[in-house]
Structure formats: C-alpha cells, structure tokens
Amino acid sequence: MNRQQAMNLLGITQEDDEREIKRKYHKMISRFHPDSLNEVGEAHIQRAQEINEAYRILSQSDKWETKSVQGTEAHGTDNHRSGKWEQRQEWSGELNEAAFIPRNIYLHYSMNLSEEERKEAQGKLYYQAAHGKYMWDPEEEDFTLFLTSLRHATAALLERTENAINVEDLSCMPDLKEYRFRVQAKLFEYLSMQYVNPLLVLDSLTKPESTDGKGQRIYRFKAFVASEESSPEGWLIASLRPGEYLFPKAFHGNQIQLMNKNRQVLGYLHMEDDRLYFCIIPLLKKHAAQVKLLVKEEDTGAQGKNNGINNKTNGNNSRNSGRGITRGNNKQKANIDFYFRLEDENYTYNSSDLNLKIAETLAGYEKYLRKYSSEQERFCDLFARLSRSNFRSRFHLKDKDIQYIQEKGMDTIRSHAADFVRTRLAPAQIPNDGKQTPMRGHPVFLAQHATGCCCRGCLYKWHRIPAGVQLAEEQQEYIVDVLMAWIEKEYNRNV
C-alpha cells in the first residue's frame, strides 16, 4: 500500500492536518475493529488491518526509533511467537512508578503478513510491544488497545487472588461471575486513573473553546442523554426544553448520571468521543473542574425549524415537534451542550492514593471468596436443587431489603433469623404450620421461602428434617446458616 492508497482508504485530503487524520482513522477503525463489534470475522480482520496499515503509513515520523524485532501477540502476560519480524517502536513513554502493577503495551500488526503468519497470529490484530508502568499516550497507543491492556491487567489481578485462595471448584459459586465482573469494573476504573494523566490527555484530544475572565479554560463537547421512549426517563427527556439546564446527580464508575431541575433522574451522559470520559471524570472527582449542561438548540434549516431544535421521527409525527428532542428507534434523545471549565490550572496528577483502593478491593474480593467458597460449597448441592424450582428461584432481595440489611447489619439479621426459627419452626406442634412465614416484610422471610425453610413440611421436603419433633439446637443453627448463606449471596449480588 502506498501513501496515495492510504489517503484514499481513510478519506484523507491534502488539507487535513495530523489531528484530522487521527480523527478519521479512529472513526473508521471503530466501525470494523472486533473489540468494538464484539465479533471476529475474517472480513472485519482484513478491513481493520488495512485501516491500521493506512494509518501507519500516514503517521510515520522521525521521532520513533525502529528496529527489527521478533513480533509477539499476547493476552494478559502470556506471550506467543508469531514468526513475524515487525518494525517495532522503541517504547519511551512516560512512566508512573507509583502504579499498582505494570501493563502490556499492544500495537497493531502491519499488513505484511504471509498466510502462514496470519494463521499463527490466531486472528488477532495486535501484538505485545512492551511491558511496564507506562502512561497512556493517545498520540501513540490506540484507544481500543489501551482498554484491552487494562482488561488484561485487571484479569491478571483477579486470577492471582483466586489462585491464592486455591478453591477447587469455582463452578459451585453461581453468583461469582456477576460479582467478579463488578470487582473487575472497579479495578478497571482505578487502573485507568493510574495510567491516564487527565490534563495531558485532554490537551492532546481537544482544545478549549474559550477562556473566562480569570483565564480559566472552557471546553464544549457534544453530548446527549437518551432512554427508552416508554420509560419514565424517556417521558422526562421528552419534556425537556431548549436551553434548559441539566445537572450531574452521581458518578457511577466512569459515567455521569443526569437529573433535571426537579432532581428527577434522566439517565447517563453520553459523549461522542469515549476517550473524554477518562479525562473529565477524574478531574470532576478531584473537584478540579465544573460543568454546565444545556439542552442544545440546533438550527435545522427551513424544515422543522421550531425553536431551532432538530426533531427526527423516522417518518412519524412526534408529539415532541418543536422541542429539543430526537425521537427514533424507540428512544428519546436530547442533545446537550456540555461546557467544561477547569477550576485548578495548577492541578497536579497524583495516583498513589489509588493503590490503597486497589489493595482494599482485592482484599475484599479475597475475603468474599474465602467466606463464600466455604459456606457455598457446604450448600452447593442444596442451592443447585433450589435453582431448579420455579417457585423457590423467583425469590430475590428487593432494594428495600438491601437497605434494611445495610441499616441493621448482618449480625442483627442473623439474630432475627435465629428468633424466627426458634419461635416459628422449632416447636414440635405449630397450629398454623404452612402459613407461619409471610411472603414479604423481612429479608429472612424471603430467604425462608427461597431455601425451603418456611414450614415444617418444606423443611422435610428440602432438608429431610422430620416434622412433629422439636428442632434440636444443631438443626436450628443449620437452618440459620442456610438462610444467611442465601441472604449474603443475594446481598453480594446486588451491592
């Protein structure tokens, strides 16, 4: 591929500068990269390789020292020989020695792969170029490969913790996958903050639109909020007016939840460039910036020019005509002018405090595994049988139950469970047996129905504890352990 072919492929003109070339490259690669599409097809791989090769040709510069080295393709910390001599870049990026762990730096393969080398690469589009505590530089490291690097690093941390526990069969933990995902998401957030200097990355991605009277930089980003048309949030979005102020309500990981002036939740803020989340969120959390969000007013020309608001209805006459709403594909969407002002021009990047959070997260995961594995393995067969019951498996803790547990604590819940078992299940003769356990009103009641501990008849069916006989203390303790194992499983699944 020559330079002209590369320009044609990416739609580059002679007037385009380096920033515009990069923008067009990112826009095109996002349409074909398997990491973005959640699929790996031969056509996508071929097209993505062509796009990467075109960008490599156009972005070559003298600042990189190149050398012929044996290219490798890697997942996590595993290296696999590809047999391909790559022109590899001598990595000399900024280091963060305070980072919790090193990470892999991945680069895309070039197009100069033989058929045999393609097979050896196993359909992957990248290889490991370096390993260390390198900061992310969007000028040199592809965003999707940076995310892949973080995913591999967090997975390695979790696997290290799991191997230390030495649990023989993790399949006995039916909720482990969901809980593990939440832990990995938290680790991903912390590591991304360690490897992204938000001010430097922000400056490399965009330039401020203006400055205020104090010289503070003001940026404007294209953003939107959207929700299902029939949802409560969708109706609230439909009622928004051009120029109306919106407000951040809460941070959820790398997302900003929005609300209107009445403090009603609208959904999450979406930006056109996902890379901006990694700059904006950390600065806001550090109180180094302020935001202003306005429902956008757009001039759409002669057609549908009501209050300057674009209204797309996919051929339907929308009830939102003349308002700042886009309606289509069963979604309500409001475009937003997102103004972002830096409050602290002397902001200093420091990520060392995140190491404690990472360590605490891993310690919590290890504690969860140790406790969960011992108790859940004990009741693994029981919970497996209960999960096959349509009636038993429909019981779950609700939000108010979670809140109650948080207010009272697990020790108090265990004490309540012991009281309920002693007074409602332990007697040999129970006048209202079969009706003594309410269907709601306390987490223990839900646990009793979910685990077959609601009456003496169910106790015999599921636990082979005979009716008509006073329950011994050991039997009562066993029932309480079953109830608390289910409650803790449900609690960890939701919190």
Structure confidence at residue 450 as a pLDDT band (50, 70, 90) = very high
Q: Give the residue, 377 or 422, on which the prediction is more confident.
A: 422
More confident residue, 36 or 80: 36
Average pLDDT of the residues in 299-319: 39
- For the stretch 255-286, pLDDT in tens is 899 999 999 999 999 998 889 999 999 899 88
- The pLDDT value recorded for residue 156 is 93
pLDDT tens-place string over residues 215-258: 889 999 999 999 998 899 999 999 999 999 999 998 887 789 99
Residue 322 has pLDDT above 50, yes or no: no
* Mean pLDDT for the stretch of residues 15-20: 76
What confidence score (pLDDT) does residue 117 get? 56
**Rounded-to-integer distance, Cα 323 and Cα 326, Å:** 9
Q: Give pLDDT, residue 57.
A: 77
Query: What pTM, to 2 d.p., does this model score?
Result: 0.61
- pLDDT tens-place string over residues 55-71: 777 766 433 333 333 33
SS3 string, the chain, reads CCHHHHHHHHCCCCCCCHHHHHHHHHHHHHHHCHHHHCCCCHHHHHHHHHHHHHHHHHHCCCCCCEEEEEEEEEECCEEEEEEEEEEEECCCCCECCCCCCCEEEEEECCCCCCHHHHHHCCCCCEEEEEEECECCCCCCCCHHHHHHHHHHHHHHHHHHHHHHHCCCCHHHCCCHHHHHHHHHHHHHHHHHHHHCCHHHHHHHHCCCCEECCCCCEEEEEEEEEEEECCCHHHHHHHCCCCCCEEEEEEEECCEEEEECCCCCEEEEEEECCHHHHHHHHHHHHCCCEEEEEEECCCCCCCCCCECCECCCCCCCCCCCCCCCCEEECCEEEEEEEEEEEECCCCCCCCCCCHHHHHHHHHHHHHHHHHHHHHHHHHCHHHHHHHHCCCCHHHCCCCHHHHHHHHHHCHHHHHHHHHHHHHHHHCCCCCCCCCCCCCCCCCHHHHHHHHHCCCCHHHHHHHHCCCCCCCCCHHHHHHHHHHHHHHHHHHHHHHC
Average pLDDT of span 32-38: 53
Identify the weakest region by mean pLDDT among 74-88, 380-394, 472-486. Answer: 74-88
Tell me the pLDDT of the chain averaged across its residues.
80
364 or 451, higher pLDDT: 451
Which of 105-119, 122-136, 368-382, 442-456 is the least confident region? 105-119
Above 50 in pLDDT, residue 319? no
Identity of the highest mean pLDDT range in 13-27, 300-314, 371-385, 480-494: 480-494
Amino acid (1-letter code) at residue 422: R
Mean pLDDT of 5-23: 80
Going along the chain from its start, the domains and CATH numbers come out as 3-69+89-143 (1.10.287.110), 202-342 (3.30.70.2330), 379-494 (no CATH)
